[in-house]
Amino acid sequence: MGDATSTPSSKPGQKDNGKLSPLPQPTTYITSHNSTGQAIVHSQNPFQWRPYDENNLAFAVPYTTSRFPPDLNNDADLKEHQSLISNPDKLGLVNPKGTVLRCVDFAPGYACGMHRTQSLDYGIVMEGEVDMVLDSGERYSLKRGDVAIQRATQHQWVNKSNTQWARMMFVLQDCQPLIVAGKEMGEDLGTNSGLPPSGN
């Protein structure tokens, strides 16, 4: 979702937890059960951000799953998530056989590179207004609350404002290989953020 030259970076003045934008800092609340089976909050933590592309883009990954359906017994999913994010350079845009919940902040006027993931994605605009640009040339303006269902298509996100940050929340779900007109439509990072290939 960035440029090929993008790499994780940290600069003086960067906000706590890696947050770059002035947008509110979200918190993740993960639930579990106590010894009698009642619901409790297992943990609550502010989003941890990783900046990319000269601090024009920031990713936070509040949660992941590594199988479908996920196994919640004995906190197996929590352990898998912690193991995965303990090495953030290992996680691509998509987690094979699982899901990724990713929040993305876009700097004013920022346009990510055209790219495609082998996944079914739900993208929700949380702050600002973002253009969804497709490789066919179609362009749609998404406002706060609008949802894009990306079905392994080539696309690009553009923050329409030259003065305000924008934010989107994505749920990326691994999918079966997609064949269109006899061609497999696999992952194409194009001029992407510098994340490793997903490997799915």
Q: Does 4 score more than 80 pLDDT?
A: no
In a domain, 138, yes or no: yes
Domain assignment present for residue 28? The answer is no
Residue 42 host element (H or E)? strand 39-46
Contacts of 69 (CB under 8 A, 6+ apart): none
Predicted TM-score (pTM) of the model is 0.89
Q: State residue 42's pLDDT score.
A: 96
| Cβ proximity of 11 and 55 under 8 Å | yes
Domain count, the chain: 1
pLDDT-wise least confident of 40-44, 95-99, 122-126, 190-194:
190-194
C-alpha dihedral over 68, 195, 110, 163, to 10 degrees?
80
**Domain around 114:** 49-184
Q: Which of 12-26, 28-42, 88-102, 186-200 has the lowest average pLDDT?
A: 12-26
| pLDDT band per the 50, 70, 90 thresholds, residue 192 | low
In a domain, 127, yes or no: yes
What does the pLDDT look like over 120-178, one tens digit per residue? 999 999 999 999 999 999 999 999 999 999 999 999 999 999 999 999 999 999 999 99
Does any domain span residue 167?
Answer: yes
Model pLDDT for residues 48-81, shown as the tens digit of each residue: 999 999 999 999 999 999 999 999 999 999 999 9
**Residue 113: inside a domain:** yes
Return the pLDDT at 16: 65
- Concatenating the DSSP letter of every residue in 48-105 gives PEEEETTTTEEEEEEEEESSSS---GGGHHHHHHHHHHTSTTT--SS-TTSEEEEEEE
pLDDT at residue number 195: 81
Asked if residue 1 is part of any domain, the answer here is no
pLDDT band at 193 (very low <50, low <70, confident <90, very high): low
Residue 91 pLDDT greater than 60, yes or no: yes
What CATH number has the domain bearing residue 65?
A: 2.60.120.10
pLDDT digits (tens, 9 = 90+) for 25-40: 999 999 999 999 999 9
User: Is residue 163 domain-resident?
Assistant: yes
Residue 21, domain member (yes or no): no
